[in-house]
Structures are given as structure tokens and as C-alpha cells.
Amino acid sequence: MERIFRSVDFIEGNLYEDISIQDIACASNLSTHHFCRKFKCCFGESPVVYLRKRRMTLAAKALIEEKEEILSIALNLQFNSQEAFTRAFKAHFNRTPARYRKMGDALSFLFCHRIQTTTCVKKDV
């Protein structure tokens, strides 16, 4: 399970970088297929979904706490355009980034946390 924890550390250290599932799997020293299976078993979602949720959390936090333009936030978090970012943000938070910023509401944040190894082992058996 320490390998999966290393992958989470890798994700957390590279949220603003263009990383792939292969990069994350490599950080855990597992094959991509085996890594994705283990990760989903431990977290209940794929590494891609986890990465997207973490980036959405950073975006939401930046929208509330910073004056940075929405486009800058989108590009910093590896979205190709403000349109793509807005679609993803609205799908996650059910409102556009501009509306979210205007409301000033911190909703549905996903903070990084370690899971208990026993949880992974039970599900993995």
C-alpha cells in the first residue's frame, strides 16, 4: 500500500503539472493497469477522477481566495482553455467558476488525506 501512498504524494506534488496516469503509475513502481486497479480499490475512484477532483478543489479555493483571472487559474491547473475548465467546473460544482466566485462559498472541497491501510487490504482480498 505504500506504493499507492507514493502515487498520492506524486499527484499532490504535481497538481500544477501536466501528468499522465503512466507518470503516476511509474511513481508507484506498478504497471499502469495494476496501479489503476489498486488505486480504485483503495479510494473508490480512478486516479484520473481523483486528480480532477483535487484540481477542482484548488480551482475553487483560488476563485474564493485570490483575485487571479479565471483563465489563469484554468491554465495553471492544466486545462487547455477557459471553456474546458468552465465545463469541468460546472460539472463538479453545478455552477460556473464566475458564479462560484461571486457566491464566495467553499463547497465540496476534496482535501488530500491518507486512508487506512486496513481499508485497502480488506477491499483487495
Q: What is the pLDDT of residues 44-94, one digit of tens each?
A: 999 999 999 999 999 999 999 999 999 999 999 999 999 999 999 999 999
Of 6 and 111, the structure prediction assigns the larger pLDDT to: 6
CATH at residue 89: 1.10.10.60
Indicate the pTM of the whole model: 0.81
Q: How many CA atoms lie within 13 A of 116 on its CB side?
A: 4
Evaluate whether residue 124 is within a structural domain: no
Range of the domain at 34: 2-113
Evaluate whether residue 69 is within a structural domain: yes
| Residue recorded with cell 468552465 | 86
Evaluate whether residue 77 is within a structural domain: yes
Evaluate whether residue 121 is within a structural domain: no
Q: How confident is the model at residue 123 (pLDDT cuts 50, 70, 90)?
A: very low
Evaluate whether residue 78 is within a structural domain: yes
For the stretch 6-16, pLDDT in tens is 999 999 999 99
How long is the chain? 125
Q: Does pLDDT of 108 surpass 80?
A: no
Long-range contacts of 114-121 (CB under 8 A, 24+ apart): 114/5, 114/8, 115/42, 115/43, 117/1, 119/42, 120/1, 120/4, 120/38, 120/41, 120/42, 121/1
Distance CA 101, CA 28 (A): 36
pLDDT computed for residue 118 by the predictor: 46
